[in-house]
Amino acid sequence: MFRRIFLSFWAGLVLILVIGVGVTLAVTSARLHALDGVSSARLTQEARAAGRDGTDALQRWVRRTEARYPTLRVFLVDPQGRELLGRRLPVRLRDWAGLNLAQTVAQWQALRTEALPGAASAHRRAPVPVPDSWWNVPAVESAGGAVHFALFLPFDSSAYEVLGVPYVLVLLFLCAVLVSGAICWVVARHITRPLLAVQHGLRGLAGGALDARLGPALAGRRDELGALAADFNATAQRLQELVSAQERLLRDVSHELRSPLARLRLALELARRDRQGPAAQLDRIERECDRLEGLTGQVLRLARLRDPQPVRGQPLDLAALVGDTLADVAYEAEATGKAVAWQAPPAAVPLQGVAAELSSMLENVVRNALRFTPPGGRVDVSLQADAAQVRIAVRDRGPGIAPELLGQVFTAFFQADPARAGGHAGAGLGLSIAQRVAQRHGGDIRLANRPGGGLVVEITLPR
């Protein structure tokens, strides 16, 4: 990529240089040769012929001549230094005319006097010679006796004469190539250097170095390459978090599985020793197997819900779904002396979603609230909806959670204080599953401690 960018920029600049020099030379040559075949003597004759028709005709001739020859300017100045069209003379002509115009006028008057020796010849014109150089000042008489002196300013080629020297063009070309090459090298290096750094970082990630990051000098740039470096760092950080979470999940799963397996071995050993009454040990084995089955199901469910793609659900009535889910949970809660209070909305709440996932999400949240609610307590559930979203609030009357632990409750296998659970064991996966379901439906879950005690869990879902 470096070679491609470098050579592309360089070739482009060289091409522009060649085209520019060629066009400049062509234009310069055309301007230098624009007056070929044009002489001051012929122009003087044309001016004198136009002057016979008066001053207005002479003015028209000046304008017509300058339009015909863009590289030539013609100024007609009277003996007092006033230009026929009222224009200011260029500086070089003004300085030159100030030194030579008076002398030219005197010479013209002397020639005219010599050509008119007597009063009888008063109406004869002086035979003023026609000049053969651009820098002579011919006299142009017009009808009525007015006289003007012609000042010709042909194209000044002195600034372009240097281009005619062969080695000058070669030096200009080499200088342009070297300068453009150096600039293109710097630009190409400026672009490809960060890309090489990103490539090195990607190879580090592929090799397992999840802590690979691009430096602040690159990530802090205010251009597309800086944005690429910032995205790389964010991606690497996210990958490291995901891998760390995966490793932590495996450790937690192995820890959670180790306890029931140990109890299973103990129950089997006791069953072998107690040959007359193994029924109690078999019941114990059955409970541990059920626990293992439930834990495995939750882990698999959490793994399936890791898909970040949003779900494509079916239309459903969220109010009816919440009511049916809470009816089953409330029936189980009555056995422990607890209650679930449900405030149903007055009308149906249509929503797009997966009914099984939404029901599981609400069930996990409410079961978690009942787990920390003391006997005789109550869990309140409410549903509010507007045009943009729906909010499900679950409020318990348990001990709450320490503020510094609120950000960790959705971590898999996290348990703030198992001792507060009232003797109900849990793996710490319910809220993690509930959060994944809400996120897959485009929503979120937030927790907060209630001022009077307990915890409020708010589920927000878009309409």
Per-residue model confidence as pLDDT tens digits over 340-386: 888 888 888 888 888 888 888 888 888 888 888 888 888 999 998 88
Q: pLDDT tens-digit profile of 434-448? A: 888 888 888 888 888
Look at residue 241 in the predicted model and tell me its pLDDT: 79
SS (H, E, C) 147-214: EEEEEEECCCCHHHHHHHCHHHHHHHHHHHHHHHHHHHHHHHHHHHHHHHHHHHHHHHHHCCCCCCCC
Per annotation, catalytic residue among 190, 255, 424, 441: 255
The DSSP 8-state label assigned to residue 446 in this structure reads E
Phi and psi, residue 385, nearest 5°: -140, 145
CB atoms within 10 A of CB 201: 21
Q: How many CB atoms lie within 10 A of CB 87?
A: 11
Does residue 167 surpass a pLDDT of 70? no
Residue 149 CA to chain centroid, in angstroms? 66
Q: Which of 196-200, 279-283, 300-304, 405-409 has the lowest mean pLDDT?
A: 300-304
Look up residue 85 and give its two tokens: 């069209």
* pLDDT score, position 143: 81
What pLDDT does 232 receive? 85
- pTM of the predicted model as reported, rounded to 2 decimal places: 0.43
Given this model, what pLDDT does residue 63 score? 92
Looking at per-residue pLDDT, the higher value among 29 and 68 belongs to 68
Any idea which of 177-181, 214-218, 411-415, 430-434 has the lowest mean pLDDT?
411-415
Q: Which domains occur in the chain, in start order?
A: 2-33+160-193 (no CATH), 40-116+124-154 (3.30.450), 227-304 (1.10.287), 311-462 (3.30.565.10)
For this structure, is 255 an active site residue? yes
